Homo-oligomer: A and B are copies of this chain.
Amino acid sequence: MNAPLLNDTFIRACMRQATDHTPVWLMRQAGRYLPEYCATRAKAGSFMGLATNVDYATEVTLQPLDRYPLDASILFSDILTVPDAMGLGLSFAQGEGPKFAKVVRDEAAVAELAVPDMHKLQYVFDAVTSIRKALNGRVPLIGFSGSPWTLACYMVEGGGSDDYRLVKSLMYSRPDLMHRILAINADAVALYLNTQIQAGAQAVMVFDSWGGVLADGAFQEFSLAYTRRVLSQLQRSHDGVVIPRLVFTKSGGLWLPEMADLDCEVLGLDWTVNLGRAREQVGGAVGGPGKALQGNIDPNVLFAPPEAIATQVRHVLDSFGKPHTDLNNSGPTHIFNLGHGISQFTPPEHVSALVEAVHSHSKKLRQTA
Contact = CB atoms under 8 A, between A and B. Distances in A.
Interface of A: 163-165, 168-169, 172-173, 212, 214-219, 251, 253-254, 271-274, 296-301, 303-305, 308, 312, 315, 319, 339, 343, 345
A173 B298 contact: no
18 contacts: A163-B299, A163-B300, A163-B343, A165-B303, A165-B343, A168-B298, A168-B303, A172-B298, A173-B308, A212-B272, A214-B271, A214-B272, A215-B272, A215-B298, A216-B319, A217-B315, A217-B319, A219-B272
Contacts of A165: 300, 303, 343, 345
A169 B346 CA distance: 11
B216 A173 contact: no
Given A215-B297, A215-B298, A251-B251, 18 more contacts: A164-B300, A165-B343, A165-B345, A168-B303, A173-B303, A173-B308, A214-B298, A215-B272, A216-B272, A216-B319, A217-B315, A217-B319, A218-B298, A219-B272, A251-B272, A253-B254, A254-B254, A254-B272
Nearest to A308: B172
B168 A300 contact: yes
A26 to B, nearest CB: 15
A301 B218 CA distance: 11
A216 B343 CA distance: 20
